[in-house]
Structure 1
Amino acid sequence: MTGPERLIGLPPVIPDVCTLLVLGSLPGRASLAASRYYGHPRNHFWTLMEGVIGESLVALDYPERLARLGARGVGLWDVIGSARRGSSLDGDIRDAVANPLRPLVESLPHLRAIGCNGALAAKGAMRALAGLDLPILALPSSSPAYTLPLAAKAEAWRALGAFILPPR
């Protein structure tokens, strides 16, 4: 098949006690090149999660960001494991292969909710996890391409705070 190359997503980042799983669609090229979730400097994810956990993330290096999320019970993954995509926009995703979400979710005994970063992530999660007794929260995309004001995004994302572990 011709067209954009097949992009392979990142592995899940799951803390020992995962109470909240945040799912994206598929990392963009900047994130894949850096092997980091939400690696594009203009993506609002880390700022939004600061509002959720009430702790600094943006100023930290990537391993410290993950450790801080993990300490609060937050895991990260994506609904798509691989796809062809000519840009970093979800609308350009073609030939997507889903990640095995259900086995992962069923292996997390402390999981209280799933937060979905954007419409494509929410659609994929709802399809893959239909019938499970877990809240699935559809959140506005953290991508700068999604033009909802940051304050409005932050207000929606704060709902995730009900599902995280308290600070240690």
Structure 2
Amino acid sequence: MRKIAFDPIVNKDCKVLILGTMPSEESIRKQERYGHKSNQFWRIIFTLFGEELPDSYKEKSDFLIKKNIAIWDVLESCEGKGSLDSSIKNEKPNNFKKFFKEYPQIEHIFFTSKKAEEFYKKYVGFDTKKKFITLPSPSSANARMTLDQKVEKWKILAEIVNSYYIENYR
């Protein structure tokens, strides 16, 4: 069965883009990015900014936009059993040429896994005008790292987001 990804969460003020590979089966079922209860994405994001983790998906998504963080996936669709990146096959990338034409202000791109970075490199390539950073996967499948270790590695995201905030309010 072919899996179809979500539309991006983005607006014209976003300077940062977080890219996953493809939503998990549970995320697709719930229609919520990083919707599997064991995925630590939302806990990492809210911990980075010292905020309480809300229950509602809308509040979580709104928080990203408030912080000028866009979120999307490298792949538009794929096939594969389960939710592991390693099971992905017959993948089709999202249209990044069109996306960056519409949102040229995005300067930093963060990948939530090495596989997301690999697919992006394969299908899109690296624009030298943008900065690319690969973060440890927030998935529970990445059991080599604790939540605290992941938060530590993800701090670069908060630093960059906060630097844009300071820059805009001088």
Check whether TM > 0.5: yes
Contact kept in structure 2, 1:17 and 1:73, CA below 8 Å: yes
Give the CA deviation at 1:125: 2.6
Q: In structure 2, list runs of 5 or more residues that go unmatched.
A: none
2:65 equivalent in structure 1? 70
Task: Report the counterpart of residue 35 of structure 1 in structure 2.
Answer: 31
TM-score by length of 2: 0.88
1:49 to 28, 39, 45: 45
How far did residue 161 of structure 1 move?
Answer: 1.3
Give the deviation of 1:150 after TM superposition: 1.5
Q: Secondary structure at the match of 2:148?
A: helix
Alignment partners' CA distance in 1, 2:38 and 2:13: 29
Count of paired positions:
163
The percentage of aligned residue pairs carrying the same residue is 26
Q: What is aligned with 1:140?
A: 136
TM-score (norm 1): 0.89
CA distance in 1: counterparts of 2:75 and 2:63, whole angstroms: 25
Residue 133 of structure 1 and its aligned partner are, at CA, apart by 1.0
Once residues 62 and 54 of structure 1 are traced to their aligned partners in structure 2, the CA distance between those partners, rounded to angstroms, is 18
CA distance in 1, matches of 2:90, 2:104: 32
Amino acid across the alignment from 2:20: G
Q: Is the CA contact 2:85–2:115 (under 8 Å) kept in the aligned structure 1? A: yes
Alignment of 1:60 onto 2:59: no
Look up the match of 2:152: 155
Q: Which has the higher helix share?
A: 2
Whether the 8 Å contact between 1:15 and 1:71 is mirrored in structure 2 is no
Answer yes or no: is 1:97 the counterpart of 2:96: no
Give the C-alpha shift of residue 55 in structure 1. Answer: 2.2
The answer to which of 41-50 and 94-103 deviates more is 94-103
Q: Does 1:84 align with 2:87?
A: no
For the residues of structure 1 that align with 2:159 and 2:125, how far apart are their CA atoms?
21
From 115, 122, 126, the equivalent of 2:121 is 126
**Residue in 2 aligned with 1:18?**
14
What runs of 5+ residues in structure 1 fail to find an aligned partner? none
1:9 to 2:5 alignment: yes
Secondary structure, aligned partner of 2:165: coil
